[in-house]
Amino acid sequence: MAILVSNPKQFLNVLYQEMKMYVSSELAYRWQIFVWVISDALQPLILGVVWAAVAKEGGLLSVNQVITYFFLVSVVSKLTKDWSVIYVSNIVVSGEFSKYLVKPFNYLAETLGISLGARVLRLLMLVPLLGIAYFVLKDYLVINWGHDRFMLFLISLIFAFLINYLLGNTFALISFFINQIVGLRTFYEHAVIFLSGEGIPLVAFPSWAKYFIEILPFRYTVSFPIEIITGSISGREIGYGFVIAGFWMVVLIVLYKVLFRLAIKKYEAYGI
């Protein structure tokens, strides 16, 4: 994040404080967090049941592969998903973004702190459920727990989160130019679910579509880490995937910085 901010030390300090404040404030609504976790877990559960039924009829994936895939979706998506696009677009449209023009720190520190805080809370509630699910499904799960694979999996999760974070914050800048952002934001959220593999395993796409999906950033937010830990891609394919993921991180950083400069000029031009 040092590329995006002028004072990394201050950025990290603000991030930490924002994360603590968010966690403390949200703990006052424990039942709301519990409902979030249950809703988070229901989507991969329902999709897993549907795809398992398809697999029994002779689909591209076996039943074990389907169960493994959607179990890992419930893990990976919770570790990598980012909600900055909602927060930032809302404060821009409401006019609250003005406060960040005078605050002595970059607003990205606050959005990242909130995102990490929400992740901590969800994980605290989700880990027990995942533990139970793993115990029940362990005979069906096909996971490569080798040391090298697991380390690559962890690195891919970091890449996935950063890409999601950059995508969300970059897309949110559109709200500086278009006030009616809700429809576009919904389209963006569904596109991410569809193209990342969260809703549909990417292996189910036709060959011509896979080529385009592999060069887009969305695959590297969910499907790519799962492909690594399940052993469905080889060493060369893993290296190629990291190169593309790294490329998109650079592109998104540049795109964010360009759009942000244009957005602030427009924002100030209106005297907001």
Q: Answer positive or negative: Cα dihedral of 214, 217, 218, 220.
A: positive
pLDDT of 178 > 90? The answer is no
pLDDT tens readout for residues 186-209: 899 889 988 998 888 888 888 888
Mean of pLDDT over the chain: 81
Comparing CA positions, the residue from 149, 158, 133, 125 lying closest to residue 23 is 125
The count of C-alpha atoms lying within 13 angstroms of the C-alpha of 67, restricted to the half-sphere facing its C-beta, is 15
N- to C-terminal Cα separation, the chain: 27
The per-residue pLDDT for 1 is 54
- Distances 110 to 107, 115, 185, 225, 261 between C-alpha atoms, Å: 5, 9, 20, 27, 19
Q: Answer positive or negative: Cα dihedral of 98, 104, 106, 107.
A: negative
> Greater confidence, 253 or 35?
253
- Spatial distance between the Cα atoms of 92 and 50, rounded to a whole number of angstroms: 39
pLDDT tens readout for residues 149-165: 999 999 999 999 999 99
Question: Do residues 2 and 8 lie in contact, with contact meaning Cβ atoms separated by under 8 Å?
Answer: yes
Q: How confident is the model at residue 28 (pLDDT cuts 50, 70, 90)?
A: low
236 sits in which H/E element? helix 235-269
User: What are the residue ranges spanned by the domains of the chain?
Assistant: 8-269
Find the length of the chain: 272
- Stated pTM of the model: 0.85
